């Protein structure tokens, strides 16, 4: 149906789909403020929250919920209410509590275990957090808990190390990313994780899979399945976007911020150049609903 409506937020960049995973809100390492800067500059038709959005495991140990975390949740709710964004929240292992509510569809918000995203070109992508294919969390929960705690220690170390680097005038360096890239067992663990997801996507009749969980953004072919991981907002600050022209890409925060700034500048310039009252001419666009 073709309709013309007033769309506020023309100063924002637009995506058909935005996919985020592993925000870990409720932990002190969640990059909530950094995410908020990005979310405030984006409009999208569909937002897929691919698991580990609210970290209940961590909240049970220690409450690191902050106003910035609330602001992220409110921004997401606002996207659903005001922008008309369809929000799909997929369960992760750290926010397993939503499993009890699944499947649930509330107007524009849907909670689910997995979701098939049909891209603009008709290709199907299986969206799932991926923890079910992490042999460590499934078969050896005690090891996963130890892993979780040592990861926490690593992040603490990382913070101290980077304060020192910042003091020395050096750029941010991710210790745990460096370790993950080097440790051989982590590499073999990741490859089996990726292969399991490739198999599941094929079984579901999908050309691709979109997941999270291992905090490592990726976009590559595994066999004939496209494997896309949206990374995380604890360290890497990455997202997957489906652009208006249908291209699906992994994007990093600096690129998003730059595009948002350019869009705002162009909008301001157009507003000042236009003789019409501010906003009116710019605020009406036509699109297919």
Instruction: Please tell me the distance from the alpha carbon of residue 59 to that of residue 150, in angstroms, as a whole number.
Output: 17
Instruction: Please tell me the distance from the alpha carbon of residue 108 to that of residue 76, in angstroms, as a whole number.
Output: 11
Parallel/antiparallel/unpaired status of strands 124-128 and 114-118: antiparallel
Task: Give the nearer residue to Mn ion in terms of CB position, either 125 or 133.
Answer: 133
Which residue of 21, 23, 32, 52 would you call a contact of Mn ion, by CB under 5 A? 52
Query: Can residue 231 be called a binding residue for Mn ion (CB under 5 A)?
Result: no
Query: Can residue 213 be called a binding residue for Mn ion (CB under 5 A)?
Result: yes
Task: Give the nearer residue to Mn ion in terms of CB position, either 83 or 131.
Answer: 131
Ramachandran sector of residue 256 (left: φ over 0; alpha: ψ -120 to 50; beta: rest) = alpha
Give the x-and-dash track for 138-177 against Mn ion (CB under 5 A).
----------------------------------------
> How many residues make contact with Mn ion (CB under 5 A)?
5
CB of 24 to Mn ion, least distance (A): 9
CB of 65 to Mn ion, least distance (A): 19
Q: Which of 174, 283, 281, 188 is nearest to 232 (CA)?
A: 174
Q: Residue 51 corresponds to which tokens in the numbers above?
A: 């698991």
Q: Which of residues 97-136 bind Mn ion (CB under 5 A)?
A: 131
CB-neighbour burial class of residue 88 (10 A; exposed 0-12, middle 13-18, buried 19+): buried
Query: Can residue 93 be called a binding residue for Mn ion (CB under 5 A)?
Result: yes
CB of 178 to Mn ion, least distance (A): 21
Angle formed at CA 252 by CA 220 and CA 242, multiple of 5 degrees: 60
Give the nearest residue (CB) to Mn ion.
213
Task: Give the nearer residue to Mn ion in terms of CB position, either 14 or 213.
Answer: 213
Query: Can residue 26 be called a binding residue for Mn ion (CB under 5 A)?
Result: no
Task: Give the nearer residue to Mn ion in terms of CB position, either 29 or 52.
Answer: 52
Sequence-distant (≥ 6) Cβ neighbours of residue 209 within 8 angstroms = 125, 126, 127, 128, 197, 198, 200, 201, 225, 226, 227, 228
CB-neighbour burial class of residue 174 (10 A; exposed 0-12, middle 13-18, buried 19+): middle
Task: Give the nearer residue to Mn ion in terms of CB position, either 93 or 236.
Answer: 93
Task: Give the nearer residue to Mn ion in terms of CB position, either 17 or 229.
Answer: 229
**Residues interacting with Mn ion, by CB under 5 A?**
52, 92-93, 131, 213
């Amino acid at each position: 149906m073709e309709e013309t409506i007033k769309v506020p937020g023309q100063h924002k960049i637009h995506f058909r789909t935005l996919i985020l995973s592993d925000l870990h809100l409720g932990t002190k390492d969640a990059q909530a403020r950094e995410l908020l800067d990005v979310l405030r500059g984006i409009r999208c038709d569909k937002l897929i929250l691919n698991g580990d959005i609210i970290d209940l495991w961590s909240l049970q140990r220690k409450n690191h919920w902050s106003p910035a975390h609330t602001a992220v949740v409110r921004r997401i709710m606002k996207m659903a209410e005001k922008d008309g964004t369809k929000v799909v929240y997929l369960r992760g292992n750290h926010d397993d509590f939503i499993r009890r509510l699944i499947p649930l569809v509330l107007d524009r918000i849907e909670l689910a275990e997995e979701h098939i995203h049909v891209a603009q070109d008709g290709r199907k992508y299986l969206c799932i957090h991926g923890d079910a294919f992490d042999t460590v969390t499934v078969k050896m929960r005690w090891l996963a808990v130890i892993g979780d705690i040592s990861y926490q220690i690593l992040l603490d170390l990382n913070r101290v190390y980077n304060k020192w680097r910042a003091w020395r005038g050096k750029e941010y360096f991710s210790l745990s990313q460096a370790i993950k890239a080097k440790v051989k067992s982590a590499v073999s663990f990741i490859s089996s994780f990726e292969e399991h997801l490739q198999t599941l996507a094929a079984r579901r009749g999908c050309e691709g899979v979109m997941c999270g969980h291992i905090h490592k953004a990726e976009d590559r072919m595994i066999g004939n399945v496209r494997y896309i991981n949206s990374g995380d907002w604890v360290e890497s600050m990455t997202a997957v976007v489906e652009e208006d022209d249908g291209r699906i890409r992994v994007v990093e925060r600096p690129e998003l911020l730059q595009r948002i700034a350019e869009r705002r500048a162009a909008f301001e310039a157009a507003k000042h150049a236009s003789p019409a009252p501010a906003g009116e001419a710019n605020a009406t666009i036509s699109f297919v609903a």
